[in-house]
Amino acid sequence: MRINARSDRLAVVALICALVPTVFGVLAFGGVYSWAWASADLLLFAATVLVLALAWKGNLRLPLHPVLFPAAVFWMLGLAQWLFHISVDRGATLTQIIQLAGNGCVLLLALLAFRRAENLRRLGWVIWSLAAGISVEAILQTLTAHDRIYWFHDASYATPVGPFVYHNHFAGCLCLLLPVTFAIAFRSSRTGTTDWTTWLRRALVPCLTGVALMLSLSRGGMLCVAFEGLLAMAWFVRRPATLLRPILLFVLLAGSFAALTNWHAMRDRFQLLEHKDASVEDRLRVSATCLQIFRHYPLFGAGMGTFPSVYPAYETFDLGLQFEQAHDEFAQTLAETGILGMLMVFAVLWMWYGAGRRLRHTAEGHLSTAVQSAAWISVAGLVLYSSWDFQFHSPGNGLLFFVLLGAALSPVPSASRTAATSPSSHSRRQEIEHGRMALLPSLPASAPREQTSKLS
């Protein structure tokens, strides 16, 4: 019992150490500025050392998930590019190595934290609170000072929404938050029945998130959320009646709130696709250019973070703009890390896919299972979104992604096993035993042991 208690405390410490830098990275302008992502990574490095030291002091064995192997190989590939001068721009590669180390630390902490089902529930409430906070802030900021983040930071040089400098990064963050927020809002009731007023109250935060997403004018974000909704319906196809009421409420309330906002701007954005939107064609051309870079650096790539330095030499068209990223994470990763890097990426995705197949056969009805399934769907949404935008180059979104990936991959004990090992359930069992003994009639001292066992 003492070892289990130390292990539970370590899991709680790992949860705090993973979530605090992640929330900071999201709120600190999405972590795009050097001081923001560096501060978050330093916190993660210190937190990882703390957790490992506590585990060593408590003689606790840390179970290592297989996903850490391809993640470590991917990081060591970047390190080799920097050490052996394989990278075209060693300074940019060093920056990526540091950021990847932070992502690896938060993944490790998440895998340690979410071995406990109660930590998954805590994650769900943190995500719900974060989604509520940044959605309200984004709505008020858009309506009052659309070019100033937190009403004081001038970001008129970009397209700021909420705490993010780039509107698509804000949309990507909401794509990560919304499925978990939905799971928390429409969780199963303890009594088994929930009235309409409770459903309406619970639907408020997801609807505010949907309105904030619409105000961001991100077409990719809207398509990503639509994909996540279809995936959720396919996920819970065995329980269509359970999803019907929440989905109808979400669509009704989000549509009503959106009607009060400038939803015409989002409609106009989608109508641009009918006339061969230049931004879409340019992104496809840049992705094709990444394939040309890959042909020259097929095995190890040109170097992590070197796309801005390498791309001008392979550019096939000139718009007078400087492309810092490829707007396609898969194509850019192939150009920067070659075949070896892409194999590691696909290895991580394969393990994530296998975890999803196992999750679908997990017992339903528990909040921890719902949060874990929602985390899996969130990962799926951002992976899809990254095929047409550079979502992982937002450090805040990257940290949040790996926290949710750790939640999706963590093997959580069953509810009965968790209840059996928790201190509260242990005390409840003692109370029940005491109550049963109190109901027994008083027996003489000479009563045979068989009679006592029969009565109990």
Contacts of 78 (CB under 8 A, 6+ apart): 93, 96, 97, 100, 304, 337
- Write the single-letter amino acid at 182: F
d(CA 208, CA 258): 9
Q: Tell me, what's the pLDDT at 435?
A: 43
Q: How many CB atoms lie within 10 A of CB 170?
A: 30
Q: Tell me, what's the pLDDT at 436?
A: 41
Identify whether the C-beta of residue 81 lies closer than 8 Å to the C-beta of residue 304: yes
d(CA 430, CA 442): 20
Domain layout of the chain by residue ranges: 2-414
Tokens of 208: 């505010």
Q: Tell me, what's the pLDDT at 252?
A: 62
Hey, which bits of 127-211 come out as E strands? 148-149, 153-154
Q: Tell me, what's the pLDDT at 258?
A: 61
In order along its 456 residues, the chain shows pLDDT tens digits of 455 788 889 999 999 999 999 999 999 999 999 999 999 999 999 999 999 999 999 888 888 899 999 999 999 999 999 999 999 999 999 999 999 999 999 999 999 999 899 999 999 999 999 999 999 999 999 989 989 999 999 999 999 999 999 999 999 999 999 999 988 887 766 555 566 677 677 778 888 888 898 888 888 898 898 899 888 878 766 555 555 566 666 666 666 666 656 666 666 666 666 666 657 788 888 889 999 999 999 999 999 999 999 998 888 877 767 788 888 999 999 999 999 999 999 999 999 999 998 888 775 668 888 899 999 999 999 999 999 899 999 999 999 999 999 999 998 654 444 444 444 444 444 443 444 434 344 434 444 444 434 333
- The string over 10-28, giving b where at least 16 C-beta atoms fall within 10 Å of a residue's C-beta and e elsewhere, is bbebbbebbbebbbbbbbb
Contacts of 88 (CB under 8 A, 6+ apart): 302, 303, 306, 309, 310
Q: What is the pTM of this model?
A: 0.86
Identify whether the C-beta of residue 167 lies closer than 8 Å to the C-beta of residue 30: no
Largest CA distance in the chain: 101
Judged by DSSP in three states, 239 sits in: coil
